[in-house]
């Protein structure tokens, strides 16, 4: 298995430089499908995704399909997700599949094969992973991502209000859970230029959370996926405060604020460009 000449971290850095730091969520909620006039079925889900991709291509660094909102429609939804991932690739967009998988042993290896192998129907450029069975439990996914030139984003400091109860908790040595996760990522990224392929999910709404949890967002050496912009409460000031010194390898996600402007591609494009321009200030 030969990885591509340009690894995920480098590809994402290049996309941020070319198109700005916006990552557009592809979240086909039933209410949005209804508002857009699309059926809540496989073809409707795929049409939704392709509409977002058309608007995002050339205007955003990446798209982030939310797997659960496709999976809820069963086989038809999974087929639609596969079609959306193919369409994004054809459009030249990086894909970050939001699956938040986390398990041990052969089960984690199976998840990795489903999303990170070259021949997988649901292969994405990167996936989100949950490390709460221990960072080492992610090894099968990290190893396969490394072998295929893909990336992962590991949950570290999330934007949900209850996250700190787990992520700020400290072990017997006094180290926070989030700090241990970031240190694990740093070890995997060591020596990879310009940045590694093991990223962190850090909410734009966490305020001083990284400092409080002793998480070094610069020193871990990988990309950052930052949810929480817009509808969840974070603005440009919060992004620059939380990710100071790491903004060049941070991709900021937005779903609701952009998707509510659909289904017209022109309106979605305007919303994406507006967010990109806000973040450039």
Q: Where are the domains of the chain?
A: 8-279
Q: Is 233 left (phi over 0), alpha (psi -120 to 50) or beta?
A: left
Q: Is 134 left (phi over 0), alpha (psi -120 to 50) or beta?
A: left
What digits encode the pLDDT tens for the residues 73-114?
A: 999 999 999 999 999 999 999 999 999 999 999 999 999 999
| 155 touches 128 (CB < 8 A) | yes
More reliable by pLDDT, 172 or 216? 216
pLDDT of residue 159: 86
Cβ neighbour number for residue 139 with a 10 Å cutoff: 17
- Tell whether the model's pLDDT for residue 269 goes beyond 90: yes
Reported as a pLDDT band with limits 50, 70 and 90, residue 121 is: very high
Tell me whether residue 78 is exposed, middle or buried, using C-beta atoms within 10 angstroms of its C-beta: 0 to 12, 13 to 18, 19 or more.
Answer: middle
Q: Of the listed 89, 100, 211, 264, which one is catalytic?
A: 100
What digits encode the pLDDT tens for the residues 29-55?
A: 999 999 999 999 999 999 999 999 999
Which of 147, 94, 152, 155 has the alpha carbon at shortest distance from 126? 152
- Tell whether the model's pLDDT for residue 25 goes beyond 80: yes
What is the fold of 8-279?
A: TIM Barrel (3.20.20)
Q: What is the mean pLDDT of residues 137-141?
A: 98
Is the pTM for the entire model greater than 0.95?
yes
Decide if 100 is catalytic: yes
Who contacts 58 (Cβ-Cβ below 8 Å, separation ≥6)?
Answer: 19, 92
- Tell whether the model's pLDDT for residue 279 goes beyond 70: yes
pLDDT of residue 233: 81
Separation of alpha carbons 7 and 26, rounded Å: 24
CA 146 from chain centre, in angstroms, equals: 17
């Amino acid at each position: 298995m030969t990885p591509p000449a340009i690894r995920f971290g480098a590809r994402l850095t290049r996309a941020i430089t070319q198109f700005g730091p916006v990552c557009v969520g592809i979240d086909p909620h039933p209410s949005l499908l209804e508002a857009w006039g699309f059926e809540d079925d496989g073809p409707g889900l795929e049409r939704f995704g392709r509409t977002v991709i058309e608007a995002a291509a050339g205007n955003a660094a990446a798209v982030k399909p939310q797997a659960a909102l496709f999976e809820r429609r069963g086989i038809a939804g999974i087929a639609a997700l596969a079609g959306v991932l193919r369409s994004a690739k054809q459009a030249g967009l990086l894909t970050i599949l939001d699956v938040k998988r986390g398990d041990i042993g052969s089960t984690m290896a199976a998840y990795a094969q489903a999303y990170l192998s070259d021949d997988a129907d649901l292969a994405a450029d990167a996936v989100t992973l949950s490390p709460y069975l221990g960072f080492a439990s992610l090894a099968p996914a990290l190893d396969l991502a490394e072998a295929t030139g893909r990336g992962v984003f590991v949950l570290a400091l999330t934007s949900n209000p209850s996250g700190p109860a787990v992520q700020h908790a400290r072990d017997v040595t006094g180290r926070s859970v989030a700090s241990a996760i970031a240190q694990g990522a740093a070890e995997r990224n060591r020596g990879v230029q310009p940045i590694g392929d093991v990223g962190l999910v850090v909410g734009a709404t966490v305020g001083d959370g990284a400092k409080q949890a002793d998480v070094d967002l610069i020193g871990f050496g990988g990309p950052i996926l930052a949810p929480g912009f817009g509808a969840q409460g974070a603005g440009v000031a919060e992004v620059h405060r939380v990710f100071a010194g790491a903004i060049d390898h941070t991709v900021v996600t937005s779903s609701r604020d952009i998707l509510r402007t659909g289904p017209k591609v022109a309106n979605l494009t305007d919303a994406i460009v507006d967010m990109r321009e806000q973040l450039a200030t």
